[in-house]
Amino acid sequence: MSKALRRTHLYQFHKQNAKMIEFASFQMPIWYKGIIPEHMAVRTRVGIFDITHMGRALINGAKSEAFLNYVITNDASVLTPLSAQYSTMCNENGGVKDDLIVSRLEQERFLMVYNAANREKDYQWLLENAKAFNVEVEDASDNIAMFAVQGPNAQSTLQRIADTDLGKIERFKCGWTKLADVDGFVSRTGYTGEDGFEVFVLNTPLSNPQNAVKVWNAILKAGEEFGIEPCGLGARDTLRLEAGMCLYGNDIDEVTTPLEAGLGFVVKLKKDSFIGKDALTTQKTEGIKRKRVGLRMLEKGIPRPKQEVWKDNTQKIGFVTSGTFSPLLECGIAMAYISIEHAVEGETVMVKVRGKPLKAEIVKFPLYDPTKYGHARQR
Partner 1 sequence: MRVLDYEIPDKLYYSKEHEWVHLEGKEAVVGITDYAQKQLHEIVYVEVQKEGSVVKQFETMGTVESVKSVSDIFSPVTGKISKVNNELTDSPELLNQDPYGKGWLAKISLTDFKKDMEKLLTPAQYADYIKTMET
Which residues sit at the interface with partner 1, rule CB under 8 A? Answer: 19, 30-31, 34-36, 234, 237-238, 300-302, 304, 324-325, 327, 332, 354
Nearer to partner 1, 17 or 91 (CB): 17
d(CA 120, CA 167): 36
The residue (of 141 and 324) whose beta carbon lies closer to partner 1 is 324
The minimum distance between CB 58 and partner 1, in angstroms, equals 34
- Asked if residue 46 lies in contact with residue 152, where contact means CB atoms within 8 angstroms, the answer is yes
Q: For residues 234 and 244, which CB has a smaller minimum distance to partner 1 in the complex? A: 234
Of 346 and 355, which CB lies nearer to partner 1 in the complex structure? 355
Burial class (CB in 10 A: 0-12, 13-18, 19+), 213: middle
Q: Which is closer to partner 1, CB of 44 or CB of 164?
A: 44
Least distance from partner 1 to the Cβ atom of residue 299, Å: 11
The H or E element containing residue 311 is: strand 308-311
Work out how close the CB of 185 gets to partner 1 at its nearest, in angstroms, rounded to a whole number. Answer: 32
Nearest to 186 by CA among 85, 87, 115, 84: 84
**How many CB atoms neighbour CB 210 within 10 A?**
10
- Interatomic CA distance for residues 147 and 201, integer angstroms: 8
Complex with partner 1: residue 35 or 105, whichever CB lies closer: 35
Shortest distance in whole angstroms from residue 234 CB to partner 1? 6
- Measured from the CB atom, the residue of 86 and 319 that comes closer to partner 1 is 319
Q: How far is the CB of 138 from partner 1 (least distance, A)?
A: 35
| Side-by-side strand order, sheet with 174-179 | 174-179, 182-187, 196-201, 145-150, 47-50, 229-231
Q: How far apart are the C-alpha atoms of 194 and 293, rounded to whole Å? A: 20
**Composition of the chain by helix, strand, coil, percent to 5:** 25, 35, 40
Shortest Cβ 369–partner 1 spacing (Å): 21
Beta strands in 24-167 (DSSP E): 26-31, 47-50, 55-60, 83-90, 96-106, 109-114, 136-139, 145-150
Q: Compute the least distance from the CB of residue 336 to partner 1, in Å.
A: 17
Q: Which of 157, 146, 141 is nearest to 211 (CA)?
A: 146
Amino acid letter, residue 379: R
Please say which residue, 68 or 243, places its beta carbon nearer to partner 1. 243
Which helix (H) or strand (E) segment holds residue 200: the answer is strand 196-201
Shortest Å, Cβ 1 to partner 1: 25
